[in-house]
């Protein structure tokens, strides 16, 4: 087969390949600025290759001239997009050149002006003195006399190709090992178009054919291979920094020696900005307050850290993951710290609401029974110990509600709650058992001590001034006391019933009194 026919087929498949790669890149263009620039370059390459295919298939001088002009719609934009790729492809910091790239958009004026010069060539012949066609070969060949404008415009374009390539080489030299392969591949992808473009300018190709569409196809194959094998233009390397900064949890990456490699904005709160050399020493040496972060051998754990910027302590759940390379070598460790402080505070508040009486702020009936049962089980397990129960209710409380209203009764209950919190404190259990009835569990307390304490509470209630709406309310209480021990050979619920019975006996005796009801304890048997 004629070599020129083979070349024509190669140009066709170059255009087809550019179309495929354009579709692949265009669907992912939102991932990065450089990928959007690559999409623009591929559009320009497609226009160039398709127009050149029509040029070598032209039947008349008019058709070949039109195809030539259409080629320039792509040719002049390719170097500009290459410059944008070179300055925007910066995986270490995706937003690195954004301000500069916004200013570089003025460069698009160059291909626009150049195309105006080409498309108006028939009036000034500054770019081409003559455009004709040689149809003696198996494909149509362009025959032109180049004007001074051709060298100016195409010289500008090759300068921009070289500028973009030099920038990419600088990126390659300055990059670390993680991205060097990507920069090297992009630098190599620029070689075929630059060589081909140079050969065309100096008419060094057979029949003066334009090999640039095929050269761009070779570059496209390299780039496509890089996308699949090196994550070239992929969101992972390109938008890595953006993804890291979008993570709301604090993220820290340390090398195998414990030195800081990477961290995001939330992690800055863990560091003291006054400490220099944050990347040069092990983090635990720079920030001793982070020691709890490295003590656990588990991959998932919780810690409390004192924040360097303040005296408060915050709670974190930590997820740790080893970073392993393809050769199964440890490259570092990733720590994700999720702040649990507010959640724990919220849970604590919910637990308080679920376990407390909303009116008096004492324990509620359910929580008191639950904790009293747990204490009885503890004593049963050790086979010794005692706790006492004080149960009391307010005498003739219904009369207060009937005469002054339920608001007055609620206020009295609130004051009783405050009084009990002052007298009992946090060391024992104190609850609103129901209505105007209250109950107290005294840990490690014999019944005689509990009876004395109940008398103190009774006197305190009697002497407290309860007022509502300017009226003084006289409030008293009747108390029942009992005690529980594993030696009683009964359940603690029996002790509860005895306290209730004692309360009933105090009321029957005239109210405003304390009555105790003891369960006989069996003698302990020594071994």
pLDDT in tens, 509-522: 999 999 998 766 55
Is 491 contained in some domain? yes
pLDDT, greater one: 388 or 173: 388
Give the residue numbers spanning the domain of 92: 3-239
Vertex 6, ends 73 and 16: CA angle to 5°?
A: 45
What pLDDT was estimated at residue 480?
96
What pLDDT was estimated at residue 244?
58
In terms of domains, do 184 and 261 share one?
no
* Domain end marker among 185, 215, 239: 239
What pLDDT was estimated at residue 93?
59
Reply yes or no on whether the pLDDT at 127 is more than 90: yes
In terms of domains, do 103 and 156 share one?
yes
What pLDDT was estimated at residue 444?
95
Report the percentage of the chain scoring pLDDT > 70: 87
Q: What's the mean pLDDT in 202-226?
A: 80
What pLDDT was estimated at residue 32?
63
In terms of domains, do 145 and 219 share one?
yes
Reply yes or no on whether the pLDDT at 108 is more than 50: yes
* Domain end marker among 341, 367, 392: 341
Is 347 contained in some domain? no
In terms of domains, do 254 and 233 share one?
no
Is 525 contained in some domain? no
Reply yes or no on whether the pLDDT at 134 is more than 90: no
How far apart are alpha carbons 150 and 145 in whole angstroms?
10
Q: 312: closest CA among 349, 339, 347, 346?
A: 339
Q: Name the band, by pLDDT with cuts 50, 70 and 90, for residue 417.
A: very high
Is 526 contained in some domain? no
Q: Name the band, by pLDDT with cuts 50, 70 and 90, for residue 439.
A: very high
Q: What's the mean pLDDT in 186-197?
A: 84
**Which strand (E) or helix (H) includes residue 320?**
strand 313-324
* Domain end marker among 278, 308, 341: 341
- Per-range mean pLDDT, top range of 90-94, 177-181, 287-291, 327-331: 287-291
In terms of domains, do 68 and 192 share one?
yes
**Which strand (E) or helix (H) includes residue 251?**
strand 250-254
Q: What is the DSSP string of 345-411?
A: HHHHHHHHHHHB-TTT-SB-HHHHHHHHHHHHHHHHHHT---EEEEEEEETTHHHHHHHH-HHHHHH
The DSSP letter of residue 356 is B
In terms of domains, do 336 and 414 share one?
no
Q: 477: which 2 tokens?
A: 């209480």
Q: pTM of this prediction?
A: 0.49
How far apart are alpha carbons 494 and 84 in whole angstroms?
85
Q: Name the band, by pLDDT with cuts 50, 70 and 90, for residue 275.
A: low
For residue 329, the SS3 value is coil
- Per-range mean pLDDT, top range of 83-87, 271-275, 343-347, 394-398: 394-398
In terms of domains, do 331 and 375 share one?
no
In terms of domains, do 183 and 219 share one?
yes
What pLDDT was estimated at residue 241?
54
Average pLDDT over the chain, rounded to an integer: 84
Reply yes or no on whether the pLDDT at 235 is more than 80: no
Say how many domains are in the chain.
3
Is 430 contained in some domain? yes
Q: What's the mean pLDDT in 115-138?
A: 91
Is 522 contained in some domain? no
Q: 215: which 2 tokens?
A: 């050269």
Q: Name the band, by pLDDT with cuts 50, 70 and 90, for residue 326.
A: low
Reply yes or no on whether the pLDDT at 479 is more than 60: yes
CB 486 within 8 A of CB 521: no
For residue 396, the SS3 value is coil
Q: Which residues contact 367 (CB under 8 A, 6 or more apart)?
A: 354, 355, 356, 431
Is 523 contained in some domain? no
Q: Name the band, by pLDDT with cuts 50, 70 and 90, for residue 276.
A: low
């Amino acid at each position: 087969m004629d070599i020129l026919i083979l070349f024509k087929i190669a140009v066709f498949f170059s255009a087809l390949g550019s179309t495929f790669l354009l579709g692949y890149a265009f669907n992912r263009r939102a991932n990065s600025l450089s990928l959007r620039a690559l999409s623009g370059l591929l559009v320009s390459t497609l226009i160039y290759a398709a127009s050149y295919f029509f040029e070598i298939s032209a039947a008349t001088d008019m058709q070949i001239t039109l195809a030539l002009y259409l080629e320039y719609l792509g040719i002049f934009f390719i170097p500009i997009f290459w410059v944008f790729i070179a300055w925007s492809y910066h995986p270490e910091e995706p937003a690195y050149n954004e301000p500069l790239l916004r200013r570089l958009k003025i460069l698009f004026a160059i291909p626009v002006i150049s195309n105006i010069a080409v498309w108006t060539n028939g009036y000034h012949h500054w770019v081409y003195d003559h455009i004709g066609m040689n149809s003696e070969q198996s494909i149509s060949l362009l025959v032109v006399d180049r004007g001074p404008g051709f060298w100016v415009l195409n010289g500008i374009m090759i300068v921009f190709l070289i500028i973009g390539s030099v920038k990419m080489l600088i990126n390659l030299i300055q990059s670390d090992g993680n991205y060097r392969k990507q920069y090297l591949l992009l630098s190599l992808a620029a070689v075929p178009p630059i060589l081909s473009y140079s050969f065309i300018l100096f008419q060094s190709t057979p029949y003066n054919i334009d090999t640039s569409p095929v050269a761009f196809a070779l570059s496209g194959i390299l780039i496509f291979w890089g996308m699949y094998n090196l994550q070239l233009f992929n969101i992972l390397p390109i938008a890595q920094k953006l993804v890291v900064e979008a993570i709301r949890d604090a993220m820290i990456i340390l090398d195998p020696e414990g030195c800081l490699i990477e961290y995001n904005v939330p992690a800055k709160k863990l560091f003291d900005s006054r400490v220099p050399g944050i990347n040069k020493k092990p983090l635990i040496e720079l920030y001793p307050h982070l020691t709890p972060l490295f003590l656990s051998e588990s991959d998932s754990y919780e810690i409390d850290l004192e924040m360097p910027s303040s005296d408060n302590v915050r709670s974190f759940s930590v997820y740790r993951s080893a970073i392993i390379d393809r050769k199964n070598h440890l490259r570092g460790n990733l720590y994700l710290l999720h702040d649990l402080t507010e959640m724990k505070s919220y849970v604590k508040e919910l637990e308080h609401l679920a376990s407390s009486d909303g009116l008096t702020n004492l324990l509620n009936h359910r929580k008191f029974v639950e904790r009293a049962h747990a204490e009885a089980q503890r004593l049963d397990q050790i086979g010794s110990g005692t706790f006492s129960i004080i149960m009391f209710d307010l005498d003739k409380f219904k009369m207060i509600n009937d005469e002054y209203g339920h608001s007055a009764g609620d206020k009295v209950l609130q004051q009783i709650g405050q009084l009990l919190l002052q007298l009992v404190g946090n060391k024992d259990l104190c609850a609103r058992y129901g209505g105007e009835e209250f109950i107290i569990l005294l840990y490690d307390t014999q019944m005689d001590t509990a009876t004395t304490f109940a008398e103190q509470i009774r006197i305190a209630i009697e002497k407290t001034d309860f007022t509502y709406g300017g009226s003084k309310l006289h409030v008293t209480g009747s108390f029942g006391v009992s005690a529980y021990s594993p030696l009683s050979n009964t359940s603690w619920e029996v002790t509860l019933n005895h306290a209730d019975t004692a309360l009933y006996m105090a009321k029957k005796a005239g109210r405003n009194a304390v009555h105790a009801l003891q369960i006989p304890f069996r003698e302990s048997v020594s071994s």
